[in-house]
Structure formats: C-alpha cells, structure tokens
C-alpha cells in the first residue's frame, strides 16, 4: 500500500551545514598535481591556460575567425573539424553549428553571456517559465517553473496551448514562436488560449518577466509496505541548488528513508560541482575521495586530465540503491550523476533513454556571447563514458503529462514505487514514450538538453 507522508515538507526549514560547506570542501578535496587521470582542482588547472586570442573586434569577420580558432584548439573533437569557407556564414552561431562534429556533438552553441550568468550563478531567469512538449497532436505544458509568469497565471502541467495572439498552434508565425520563448530581456505580452484537462478553455494575457528558478520543485516521502521512500523532482544543477538539495535531504534524513526516487526527467544539466555534491549526499561516505568523474581533454591538453572526487558530507543518506526517472530531456549533469554513482551503488533508470551528453563546456565570452564548445569528456570510476547515444533505461516506461510531479499515479513515479516493492519492471507500462521534445515543424523548439550547456564548475 502506498501512502504519501507529505508534499514538499522541507519548505522553510533551516539548511544544515553539509551543503553550505560542500563547495569549499570540493575545492580542497583534490591534490594540486596534474597528469593523465590525476586529481587536481579544476579552477586551478584552468588558471592561466592559453586559448585562442579574443576577437580583435565584434565585426563578423573577426568573430568568424575567433570561432574557427576555438574549434581547432581546445574543442574535444578538434582533429575532426572540417575546413569551411568562413565567408559563407553570416553569424557566428551558424558557423559554430556547422563546425560541430557529429554524431557526438549536438550541443556546442552560443548563449547570451548575461542571461547565462544570471541563471547559473544567481538562479535568475527571464521568460514565461515553461517547458513544452508535443504530445498527441497538441503543444502541452510539461513543466511550469514555480513563481514564473505561467505559474502566476495559473497554468499547470498537462494543459495545452491552443492559440497565441489568436493564431492556432498549427499556424503560429515565427514572431509568435519567438515571443513565446522570450526576446532578449524585453517583456512580451501574449494572449494565450489554454485548454485544461477537462477540455475547457480560457484566454490568458501573460507578460514575460524575471523570476527566481526553484530547482527542487517537489520533494515528498511515501510509506511503502513499511518502508519510507523519498521522492525529489530536481530540474537543474545551478549554484543556487545547494541549499535546496540540503533542505530536501534533511527532511529525508528525518523521515529515515531507505529508498530514493530522483526525478530528472526534464533536467538538462548544469554545474558539475553540484552533481558531485548531490551524488555524495546519496551515496555512503565510504565513497569519499573516490572519483565521481574523471574529466578528459583532447590530445593537445591531455596533461590537464583530472578527477573530481566524491565528498564526505555529514548529511549523507548512505543509500544502497537509487531509482532515477529519465526521458530524452535528461542531459549532461543528470547523466553524470547516474554514471558517476554506478561504480558505488545500484542505479536503476526508469523511463526513456537519456539525451546523450557525456561532455562538458567552459564558456568563452566575446561581444556579449558565450561560446560553449564541448571541451571535456566525462568518465566514471569504472572507465565508462562516451554514452553519446544516451543511457538506456532498465525499465522502459512512457512519460505522461497527465499527473503532477509527486502524484503516485504518474507512470514514471508509479513504476519506481512498483520496482521498489516488487524488484521488477512494470510490464504493462514498458512502452517507448511518444511524447516529443521537438515537434518536427518547429526547427528551433528548445529542449533542456540543448540550451543548458554550461558544465564546468569554475567558469559558467
């Protein structure tokens, strides 16, 4: 029998010292030596490193030369980059896209420097606060950021967007589409026709705005046949995530959980250091000083290879097993936590194959743009990496937008609870998801795994 003990019970509780001190611990957990596979602090290893010169100006010719030089220097696949006629490209973004090496690299790209720093350093974002999926012929809301304009307007997970400014979804103009995802930091007001679960409709006038990102969106505890099971919906690895994770873990400790279901289904990644802390809080402290991940550069910088280690944290849950809920939007640091923990504990993936980004970036900034070219590969303590086709699920279960996060009827969560109860995959749910993160007729439809490119802990 499943019973919920409480939804988000940690809200307002005082954070313990474990996470607050974790970043300081991380920076001192490695030696200063360097070499192939050696441990070294990432920020120290990159200090004073030589890169291609900054562009001489922001003119397109200089920006194109700068992008090309970067891709032939520190880029992880630099030895495979094609020679292109730079004059054929009108923007550095277009050039960078064509210089990427496929199939491994679907991620290198440009981001706005200010917005990236706001997000990863301060947990501040601009827009409407939504993540959309194309499902059963409709554009549906998969996630709503707490405190965002969509949230304040009362839009909830599972509802559909039928019209923007009077245009039905199938006839959205490029201007409609761009406005939906924000234009720079200029507020945009949209009239949106929203369809609820009962098929009733309402028109809302919503204006994009700044809001604070809450990365632990839901945390709760279920009682399952006398065993307490923690559930945490975690949506991004930001600098501000540390105290949120700590509050959830503190509650799980107080409730004496024996199992944890970590929901990463739409988590596109973020800070590697936050991933190391989260993994260390889940595993036993006996793993401390073992490699959480080894970061590997291209041949030119191979001497900088180093390990980021697991930490000894007072608040550790010391679990023997982790259940992870995933989709194709589970990327980067999300995959890193899964792969990094597997040498030390049983990690069961329930859902769909992850997006396949075993690589990291460190932004190079010029002319207000961050160039995020893949720079390092991630390898766990067992030498496993290069999962650019994604991490396959142990139990294939279809994602559904019909239930709120933390609702035990949600197929992914229900399958996780069922696996803990029976030790087997739910056969009736073992079908591949038909929910798409990228509708075919919208080439620029964003996915968490494509915009959330910043991974290295020292240089967002």
Q: What is the pTM of this model?
A: 0.82
pLDDT tens profile 42-99: 333 344 445 577 888 999 999 999 999 999 999 999 999 999 999 999 999 999 999 9
The Cα–Cα gap between 146 and 148 comes to 6
**What pLDDT band is residue 185 in, cutting at 50, 70 and 90?**
confident
**Mind giving me the DSSP string for 6-17?**
EESTTTTPPPPH
pLDDT tens profile 307-365: 999 999 999 999 999 999 999 999 999 999 999 999 999 999 999 999 999 999 888 88
**Mind giving me the DSSP string for 80-92?**
GPPP--GGG-SSH
CA angle 364, 366, 371 (to 5 degrees): 40
Over residues 255-260, mean pLDDT: 96
pLDDT tens profile 444-455: 333 333 333 333
**What pLDDT band is residue 210 in, cutting at 50, 70 and 90?**
confident
Burial per residue of 271-281, b for 16 or more beta-carbon CB atoms within 10 angstroms, e otherwise = bbbbbbbbbbb
3-state SS class at 151: helix
Nearest CA to 124 out of 206, 185, 190 is that of 185
Superfamily of domain 2-35+213-451: 2-enoyl-CoA Hydratase; Chain A, domain 1 (3.90.226.10)
Distance (Å) of CA 42 to CA 119, 345, 422: 21, 26, 42
Q: ω into residue 215 within 30 of 0, thus cis? A: no
Task: State the alpha helices, DSSP H only, in 169-322.
Answer: 174-180, 241-254, 272-282
pLDDT at 179: 81
Cα atoms in the Cβ-side hemisphere of radius 13 Å centred on 340: 35
Nearest CA to 145 out of 241, 213, 194, 208 is that of 213
Contact indicator for 321, 369 with CB cutoff of 8 Å: no
Domain with CATH 3.90.226.10 in the chain: 2-35+213-451
Collect all residues with Cβ–Cβ distance below 8 Å to 47 and sequence separation of at least 6: none
Nearest CA to 392 out of 324, 455, 345 is that of 324
Contact indicator for 133, 435 with CB cutoff of 8 Å: yes
Neighbours of 255 (CB within 10 A): 18
Nearest CA to 292 out of 188, 385, 427 is that of 385
pLDDT at 260: 98
CA angle 18, 24, 25 (to 5 degrees): 65
pLDDT at 175: 80
Residue 90 class from Cβ within 10 Å (0-12 exposed, 13-18 middle, 19+ buried)? Answer: exposed
pLDDT tens profile 35-45: 323 223 333 33
Q: Is 265 a residue whose pLDDT tops 60?
A: yes
The pair phi, psi for residue 301, each rounded to 5°, is: -120, 25
Collect all residues with Cβ–Cβ distance below 8 Å to 442 and sequence separation of at least 6: 177
pLDDT at 428: 52
Tokens 């194959």 found at: 353
The Cα–Cα gap between 29 and 41 comes to 8
pLDDT tens profile 124-149: 778 898 999 988 889 999 999 999 99
Q: Is 214 a residue whose pLDDT tops 80?
A: yes
The Cα–Cα gap between 352 and 399 comes to 8
Neighbours of 54 (CB within 10 A): 12
Domain with CATH 2.30.42.10 in the chain: 128-208
Collect all residues with Cβ–Cβ distance below 8 Å to 226 and sequence separation of at least 6: none
pLDDT at 17: 26
Tokens 């554009």 found at: 139
The Cα–Cα gap between 365 and 373 comes to 11
Rg of the chain's alpha carbons, rounded to an integer?
22
Fold observed for domain 128-208? Pdz3 Domain (2.30.42)
Q: Look at 1-5, 109-113, 144-148 and tell me which has the smallest mean pLDDT.
A: 1-5
63: left (phi over 0), alpha (psi -120 to 50) or beta: alpha
pLDDT at 47: 42
Higher pLDDT, 369 or 407: 407
Q: Is 180 a residue whose pLDDT tops 90?
A: no
Q: Is 380 a residue whose pLDDT tops 80?
A: yes
């Amino acid at each position: 029998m499943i019973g919920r003990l409480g939804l988000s019970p940690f809200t307002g509780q005082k954070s313990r010292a474990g996470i607050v001190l974790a970043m300081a611990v991380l920076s001192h957990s490695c030696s200063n030596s360097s070499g192939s596979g050696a441990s070294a602090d990432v920020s120290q290893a990159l200090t004073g490193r030589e890169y291609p010169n900054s562009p001489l100006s922001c003119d397109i010719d200089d920006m194109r030369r700068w992008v090309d030089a970067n891709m032939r220097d520190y880029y992880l696949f630099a030895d495979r980059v094609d020679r292109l006629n730079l004059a054929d490209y009108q923007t550095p973004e277009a050039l960078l896209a064509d210089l990427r090496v496929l199939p491994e690299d679907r991620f290198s790209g440009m981001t706005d420097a200010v917005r990236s720093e706001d997000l990863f350093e301060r947990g501040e974002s601009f827009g409407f606060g939504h993540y959309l999926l194309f499902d059963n012929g409709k554009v549906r809301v998969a996630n709503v950021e707490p405190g965002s304009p969509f949230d304040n307007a009362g839009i909830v997970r599972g509802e559909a967007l039928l019209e923007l400014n009077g245009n039905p979804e199938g006839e959205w103009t490029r201007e409609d589409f761009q406005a939906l995802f924000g234009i720079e930091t200029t507020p945009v007001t949209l009239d949106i026709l929203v369809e609820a679960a009962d098929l009733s409709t309402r028109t809302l006038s919503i204006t994009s705005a700044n809001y604070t990102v809450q990365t632990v969106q839901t945390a709760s505890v279920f009682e399952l046949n006398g065993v307490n099971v923690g559930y945490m919906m975690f949506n991004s690895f930001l600098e501000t995530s540390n105290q949120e994770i700590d509050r959830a873990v503190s509650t799980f400790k107080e409730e004496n959980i024996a199992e944890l279901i970590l929901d990463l289904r739409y988590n596109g990644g973020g800070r590697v250091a936050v991933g190391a802390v989260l993994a260390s809080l889940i595993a036993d402290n006996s793993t401390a000083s073992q490699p959480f991940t080894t970061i590997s550069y291209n041949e030119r910088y191979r001497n900088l290879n180093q390990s980021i280690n697991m930490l000894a944290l007072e608040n550790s849950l010391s679990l023997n097993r982790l259940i992870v809920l995933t989709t194709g939007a589970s990327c980067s640091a999300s995959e890193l936590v899964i792969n990094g923990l597997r040498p030390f504990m049983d990690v069961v993936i329930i859902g769909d194959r992850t997006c396949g980004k075993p690589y990291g970036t460190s932004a190079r900034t010029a002319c207000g743009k961050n160039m995020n070219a893949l720079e390092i590969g991630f390898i766990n303590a067992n030498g496993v990496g290069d999962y650019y086709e994604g991490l396959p699920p142990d139990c294939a279960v279809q994602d559904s937008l019909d239930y709120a996060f933390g609702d035990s009827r949600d197929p992914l969560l229900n399958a996780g609870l069922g696996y803990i109860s029976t030790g087997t995959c739910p056969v009736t749910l073992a079908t591949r998801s038909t929910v798409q993160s990228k509708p075919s007729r919208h080439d620029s439809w964003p996915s968490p795994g494509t915009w959330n490119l910043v991974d290295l802990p020292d240089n967002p």
